[in-house]
Amino acid sequence: MLTPERKPFHIPAEKGRVGKYCILPGAPERVPLIASMLERPERVGANREFTVWNGWLGQTLVTVCSTGIGGPSAAIAAEELADCGAETMIRVGTCGGIALPVRSGDVVVASGAVRQDGTSHEYAPPEFPAVPDAGVLMALAQAAQAAGLPVHIGVVQSKDSFYGQHSPDRMPVAAALHEKWEAWRRLGVLASEMEAAALFTVGAARGLRMGAVFHVIWNQERAAAGLDTDAQENHDTSAAIRTAVEAVRLLAQAGS
């Protein structure tokens, strides 16, 4: 347990300086951008991959904390934010599409995550599903739909190796990687990312409310199918960020 003398090991925050609601981007440079969408944004601090700002939505304190890349550091952020008093966390990041209807520039809201990671397995056995809080999921879906965004709601794949996806053929376990990717594709998995499974499972273990929304950079399956051959990668994450902020507003207004 944290005490006034005992601060978190990694995140630059402490009890009394973390809101009930947290937004979790991966990249530290996105933190002040997200905080600027809140009222009275204020920098709290930075350490390693963890940059923390606070802001307000009316009378509600909201914390924005970067997590870096992948499940291990995302789990550290979630654990330490929870120790500081956070209760609801929304991951906002990027993903690569898998299902053909998912286009570059779309928004994906995760209703579950394939646990092809390592971190979640230190919290729960493999049979346990990685799913978000239902209320947070509905708030994210409502926020995206109300904004008229092209949104897809469904399962994402969480992996630990970026290059295991993008360069599978040069891996010694190439056959296994291709076999699993084909399974996710045939099962209708929407997109691939690197944090949701860990966060959803940490949330279950810690009694936290979790959700996740993603901006689609590119869909390699559409490209392989001869679709979007003239399209460019889309790196504008503003729609996913606005969705996360508005979902927090909806949850706060509902008192949930």
* Domains identified in the chain, total number: 1
CATH code, 95: 3.40.50.1580
- Asked, for residue 49, whether it belongs to a domain, the answer is yes
- Asked, for residue 15, whether it belongs to a domain, the answer is no
Predicted local confidence at residue 6, as pLDDT? 64
- Asked, for residue 81, whether it belongs to a domain, the answer is yes
Using a pLDDT cut of 90, give the percent of the chain over it. 94
Predicted local confidence at residue 228, as pLDDT? 80
Residues in the chain, pLDDT under 70: 1-6, 229
Are the C-beta atoms of 22 and 89 separated by less than 8 Å? yes
pTM passes above 0.85: yes
- Asked, for residue 89, whether it belongs to a domain, the answer is yes
pLDDT for 72-123, tens place per residue?
999 999 999 999 999 999 999 999 999 999 999 999 999 999 999 999 999 9
Predicted local confidence at residue 220, as pLDDT? 94
- Asked, for residue 172, whether it belongs to a domain, the answer is yes
What's the domain range around 72?
21-254
Average pLDDT, the chain: 96
- Asked, for residue 12, whether it belongs to a domain, the answer is no
- Asked, for residue 8, whether it belongs to a domain, the answer is no
- Asked, for residue 122, whether it belongs to a domain, the answer is yes
Predicted local confidence at residue 195, as pLDDT? 98
